[in-house]
Chain A
Amino acid sequence: MLSVTDLQKTYPSGDEALKGVSLDVTGSETVAMIGPSGAGKSTFIRCVNRLTEPTGGSVELDGLEITGLSGKELRNARRDMGMIFQEYNLIERLTVMENVLSGRLGYVSTWDAFRRKFAGDDIERAYEVLDRVGLGGHENNRADELSGGQRQRVGIARAILQRPKILLVDEPTSSLDPESSRAVMDLLTEIAAEDDIPVLINIHEVDLAEEYAGRIVGLRDGQKVFEGGPDDLDETARGQIYRGEEIPEGAGPTGKVAEAGTPGESSQEEGQIRRG
């Protein structure tokens, strides 16, 4: 399970992107993180695997503190976190197979990586994963020959080849048409269920979040302003996330006074309920 506490990030430019955000992601749940542009969603995800260096707080994956790691230890920790990007970030000029296999780079020696020599098991699994994401037979295509939806599925295949303990997904659908967006979201939730890993998704489309996520987190100005099930995301909550409407004194995680309780406890409970 991923457990983030009081995560802070201030960019060298002075931008306070995260002002102390805590979040737990457990089991095989799908957590959607929504919020206006610039709220800090991408920063949050990138701080988890430290593509961006957080300036404060802690990130724990299965009890291992990520923030203090360096070198080999950090790389080993990254192997356990699959990341999927908005712009796919595939190696455009390499084949689909090389892109998928690059998910194993944390496990092979540099020389073998150079020779594109991967374990037989990995190759077999890459074929299976490609079938699973619906790209069987495309292994020798170059990534830049694929459509956006296909590329994103290669990105997902690369991430699951890592056998990650969690998937970090940064706006997987922003560059896709509605049809491909749904296909990608279906795939992600399916994987979460089948492989029993949690998925943390940044997403702009609130309707997709409501449809696919078990839990929704609302970020605004680097602060968590909402946390709850899709049903809790009513007009008030949306107003608080997207339009910055006042959150009443003593409000709970969903931004309403009636459901009082501390955010930490609540999120834990909900996670447990969902798992049970």
Chain B
Amino acid sequence: MTDYQTWERRTPRQRIGRYILMLIVLVAAAVSWQLLQINYSYLGTAPTEFMDLINRMYPPNVGYTGEIISPMIETIHIAILGTALAVLMSIPVALIGAENTTPNRFTFVLGKFIISASRSVNVIIWALVFVIIFGSGALAGTLAIAVRSIGFCSKLIAEAIEEIDPGQVEAIQATGANSIEAAIYGIVPQVKPALIGVSTYRWDINVRASTIIGFVGAGGIGVELNTSINFFAWQQVLTILLAILIIVVFSEVVSAYLRRKVR
């Protein structure tokens, strides 16, 4: 090939970068594959196992529906209360975690620390911790969900606060309003869409999370699901899964509707 008239999509450097990236991926894949030491005979039988499982699940146990109504309601309670608590606690955390509203350097760092501490621990681990503290039940689950959500909500709300137009706050201050009034009129309306968007979005996530914290005893439908699976009551399992599906889809529709409604 001659130097001219060749068609190159990328510069040589970019190409080398790409090759290196691909190589890393291949090596990582190979090493991982080796490390897992999966018994591949299981993989071969997996499809039949799954079909078998599905056969045993079908048809769902309709008579069982009555028994899961109350844990399902508890699940929703956990999701809503957990989200509400989280949003409530997020507001002060967001205020100190936003550059333009934090009182000083120390509070800013504290805000950032709370945010990242809450975010880096999975909800199920939080649930374990709260089960130790408060014993099993919905309280532990609610707190786990609340604590895990604080970081997420505060982070997004803080970003919204950092983006507000300071002119609107100044205009209110210029009328002789006090700083709380300036916040009510100048800041709240500007961050309200973000606040509602974040809470409905997180609620949506939390509905899913609240279905599993029962695995470690933190209340909700997960407790029921865990028991049914352990007793190989597969038809009950399918009933529960369908109920979860309905709730999750429902919550997704509601939260999408709410987000659309607030402009």
Are A and B co-members of a single complex?
yes
A-B pairs, 3 with minimum CB distance: A106-B176, A79-B176, A105-B177
* Residue contact A105 to B171, C-beta cutoff 8 Å: no
Q: Is the CB of A105 within 8 A of B180?
A: no
Q: Check B174 against A81 for contact (C-beta < 8 Å).
A: yes
Could you list which residues of chain B lie within 8 angstroms of chain A, going by C-beta atoms?
165, 167-168, 170-178, 180-181, 184-186, 189-190, 192-193
- A102 near B174 with CB under 8 A, answer no
Knowing A79-B175, A81-B174, A110-B178 are in contact, say whether A102-B190 is a contact too (CB < 8 A).
no
Shortest A76–chain B CB gap in Å is 6
- Interface residue stretch chosen among A30-38, A90-98, A202-210, A253-261: A90-98
Q: How far is the CB of A250 from chain B (nearest CB, A)?
A: 40
Residue A85 at the chain B interface, CB threshold 8 Å: yes
- Report 18 cross-chain contacts, Cβ distance below 8 Å, ordered by A residue: A51-B170, A51-B173, A78-B174, A78-B175, A78-B176, A81-B174, A85-B171, A91-B172, A91-B185, A92-B165, A94-B189, A105-B176, A110-B178, A110-B180, A113-B177, A158-B175, A162-B175, A162-B176
> Would you call A198 an interface residue if the criterion is a C-beta within 8 Å of the partner chain's C-beta atoms?
no
Please report the C-alpha to C-alpha distance between residue A49 and residue B177 in the assembled complex, in whole angstroms: 13
**A155 contacts across to B, CB distance below 8 A:** 171
A89 with B167: CB separation less than 8 A: yes
CB distance from A60 to the nearest CB of B (A): 18
Cβ of A83 under 8 Å from chain B: yes
Q: With the chains together, A49 CA to B178 CA distance in Å?
A: 14
1/0 contact string of A126-161 vs chain B (CB within 8 Å): 000000000000000000000000000001001000
Determine whether the beta carbon of A90 is less than 8 Å from that of B171.
Answer: yes
A228 to B178, CA, bound (A): 38
Chain A positions within 8 Å of B, measured between CB atoms, are 49, 51, 75-83, 85, 87, 89-94, 98, 102-107, 110, 113-114, 155, 158, 162
Contact A91 B168, beta carbon cutoff 8 Å: yes
Separation in Å of the B8 CB from the closest CB of chain A? 48
Contact yes or no, B175 A89, CB < 8 A? no
Q: Does more than half of chain B's interface fall in helix, strand or loop, or is it mixed?
A: helix
Roughly how many angstroms separate A76 CA and B178 CA in the complex, as a whole number?
10
Query: Residue of A at shortest CB range from B190?
Result: A93
B181 partner, pick from A78, A87, A113, beta carbons under 8 A:
A113
Complexed CA–CA distance, A110 and B171 (Å): 17
What is the distance, in angstroms, from A86's C-beta to the closest C-beta of chain B? 9
Q: Is the CB of B184 within 8 A of A114?
A: yes
With contacts A90-B171, A162-B176 taken as known, whether A105 is within 8 angstroms of B181 at the C-beta atoms is: yes
Residues of A within 8 A of B171 (CB): 83, 85, 89-91, 102, 155, 158
- Distance between A30 CB and nearest chain B CB, rounded to angstroms: 20
| Given A110-B180, A113-B184, A91 contacting B189 (CB threshold 8 A) | yes
Q: Which residues on B sit within 8 Å (CB–CB) of A51? A: 170, 173-174
- Which residue from A82, A93, A102, A110 sits with its C-beta under 8 Å from B172? A102
**B263 to nearest A CB, angstroms?**
8
B192–chain A nearest beta-carbon distance, Å? 7
The answer to whether B167 and A75 touch across the interface, beta carbons within 8 angstroms, is: no
| A52 (CB) vs chain B CBs: closest residue | B170
Docked-complex contact A92 and B168, CB < 8 angstroms: yes
- C-alpha spacing A59/B74, complex, angstroms: 63
Residue of A nearest to B177 (CB): A105
Kindly provide the distance from the CB of B160 to the nearest chain A CB, expressed in whole angstroms: 13
Q: Judging by beta carbons under 8 Å apart, are B185 and A113 in contact?
A: yes
Roughly how many angstroms separate A114 CA and B189 CA in the complex, as a whole number?
12
Chain B's closest residue to A108 (CB) is B181
The answer to whether A87 touches B190 (Cβ under 8 A) is no
- Find chain B residues with CB under 8 A from A87 CB: 167
Q: Which of B170, B175, B193 contacts A103 (CB 8 A)?
A: B175
Q: A92-B165, A105-B175, A113-B184 are in contact. List 20 more A-B contacts (CB 8 A).
A: A77-B176, A78-B173, A78-B175, A80-B176, A81-B174, A83-B171, A85-B171, A87-B167, A89-B167, A90-B168, A91-B168, A92-B189, A102-B172, A104-B175, A105-B181, A105-B185, A113-B177, A113-B181, A114-B184, A158-B175
Residues of A within 8 A of B192 (CB): 93
Q: How far is the CA of A243 from the CA of B82 in the complex (A)?
A: 64
